[in-house]
Structure 1
């Protein structure tokens, strides 16, 4: 057990310790994670957690948002890299995050407890997968305006792209079937998905509006 977190500790480091504890506990307890368990793991009082994060639900939301922000990091506005490079960076980060053993275990436990904790499960989805898709859609909208992707519905395109990147691998993981658990295999699939996407939604021809 760690010593009580002091007020002089940097805020970012203090939050990170709590978020890391939540991630570790989610992989073991799933939706049954309690603030008591987080406090014991970090070495602070439960009242401190409530004072800083408001509630268990809000704390879980912050942890999920941080994870999704890391996955969406390649989608920075104004990035001048070639589209393939940006999308491949995003795809590889997404696949690596989803394929980490702890995250795979967490996803399975959350899914198992979703029927019992419906509202919290819905909020985790909204703050996680749905938020990531929204960020990707906004990035696609920006690239459409820049003339680098042909015009279409950015939210439909974002959902299609995430589905292409994910493939069937997470279903295989869920059922403990052989999957792409090697970085080279994941990269090969990511390249295939990104290249297929760019063929489907290429940049409009020069001087021609990119409408469909």
Structure 2
């Protein structure tokens, strides 16, 4: 029998197709067994995705304090078990070696980032906040009354600072962020979900 290279590839493809369909191999049982082994011994924890304000439900499978697998929660009315690409990638975000774990600073004119301590980062943020607050503080506004009289009224606001919340924080943290915004005197505080 004289078989060409092209004929050999055709016969190989046909043989594989015949084996997969004609002999009735069902790979779903093997896939289900692999899935069950992966999740064996895991604690299933319901959670909510933090990427946006949608409130999609997640089922986290945790073993030994480490996230092993996550999937959409089919009982959640928002996403009914489906996940967007951001939510599906949460495991890679949590354990990525590229994720910064310490504060980073890029000095003015520099082309690279350098690690700094948490104490230095908090100190720099506090000093810069105080500097901007003092430079942009408005203590009074001049208003015109109904009678046409001009009068100064207290304003007490720092117009050079704006605070924006994030979908990464929960309600309690949003409440504290709002209180902090009012404490430093900025009238500009908003949340990412409304923008």
TM-score range, shorter chain: under 0.3
Q: Which has the higher contact order (CA 8 A, sep 6+)?
A: 1
TM-score by length of 1: 0.24
TM-score by length of 2: 0.25
